Structure 1
């Protein structure tokens, strides 16, 4: 049974009352869906922009959707059972955080590069588009969190070479 609980209630808003703080989706065993996770993340990003946050580049929206897809897919493939997705704005307001919790205590591992391998590239992709990826144990398994920067450094931000 799927229990998509999208919570955009008052308790999920920042102190200004307008800005959404987070979107959560919880799934019963075997009911998780990467597509539903992408929809929830897109809804959160849309609400964020409606609340007056600066327009998000298409790259950021695409990267968030990619990270949600990969992390939910990994949870389904490697840790079947109930899982949860949370999408929120980082504390510094400069990144979107995507966190997926699943019942397995085994940390994911990046496989060595192999262009001939089919599959097994999800975590590589997540790391490539994220400013950070962390894995931490939880009482119910683990949580994998990726932060996707809202803007890329410009050439003027780069260190002189």
Structure 2
């Protein structure tokens, strides 16, 4: 794992740097404990965002974000064939949770079915977040889940 924290690096996929966000990222290799480590990274990020950016989190923001991180990292671990990266970006208005992995297959969103075993991860993420996007990128795919914050 390789954790980075900054205010915004140059990124050829995402564009020019911006001083208007807090950014942290970590690469995971699929070893046991990666999901817990990703959640710990998200928890540290939220703590910094509240302390340094004066972000106001709603009653369920922390738990919703942790669950979204768990689901996205679980999917990356299950369906990609290589390391994957969690990137957390935020300011006082919004938080983005982005996962990059090496698979080019975009996630499938199934209709809700309580009898179906498995396949509920993206359904959960979509229900928790204000916006979810998935797209192919040069390294494989990028899934971004966004949370709007109270102002």
Do both share a fold (TM > 0.5)? yes
Indicate if the aligned counterparts of 1:83 and 1:100 stay in contact, CA closer than 8 A.
yes
- Structure 1 residue 44: Cα displacement: 0.5
Kindly tell me: are residues 140 and 14 of structure 1, through their superposed partners in 2, closer, same or farther at Cα, counting changes over 3 Å?
closer
Number of the residue aligned with 2:39: 38
- Structure 1 residue 94: Cα displacement: 2.2
- Structure 1 residue 9: Cα displacement: 4.2
Number of the residue aligned with 2:5: 8
Indicate if the aligned counterparts of 1:14 and 1:21 stay in contact, CA closer than 8 A.
no
Number of the residue aligned with 1:95: 94
Structure 1 consecutive aligned stretches of length 4 or more whose deviation exceeds 6 Å? none
Q: How many residues are aligned here? A: 143
Q: How far apart, CA to CA, are the structure 2 residues paired with 1:150 and 1:140? A: 30
Kindly tell me: are residues 10 and 61 of structure 1, through their superposed partners in 2, closer, same or farther at Cα, counting changes over 3 Å?
closer
CA displacement, residues 68-120 of structure 1 (integer Å, 9 cap, x when unaligned): 00000001111131100001116xx5221000001000000012321112221
| Unpaired segments ≥5 residues, structure 1 | 153-161
Number of the residue aligned with 1:138: 137
Q: How far apart, CA to CA, are the structure 2 residues paired with 1:53 and 1:121? A: 33
| Unpaired segments ≥5 residues, structure 2 | 10-16
Structure that is richer in strand per residue: 2
TM-score, normalising length: structure 2: 0.83
- Structure 1 residue 146: Cα displacement: 0.5
What secondary structure is seen at the aligned counterpart in 2 of 1:61?
helix
Larger radius of gyration: 1
Indicate if the aligned counterparts of 1:95 and 1:148 stay in contact, CA closer than 8 A.
yes
Number of the residue aligned with 1:114: 113
Q: How far apart, CA to CA, are the structure 2 residues paired with 1:11 and 1:114? A: 40
What secondary structure is seen at the aligned counterpart in 1 of 2:24?
strand
The two structures, once aligned, show a CA RMSD in angstroms of 2.4
Q: How far apart, CA to CA, are the structure 1 residues paired with 2:141 and 2:58? A: 30
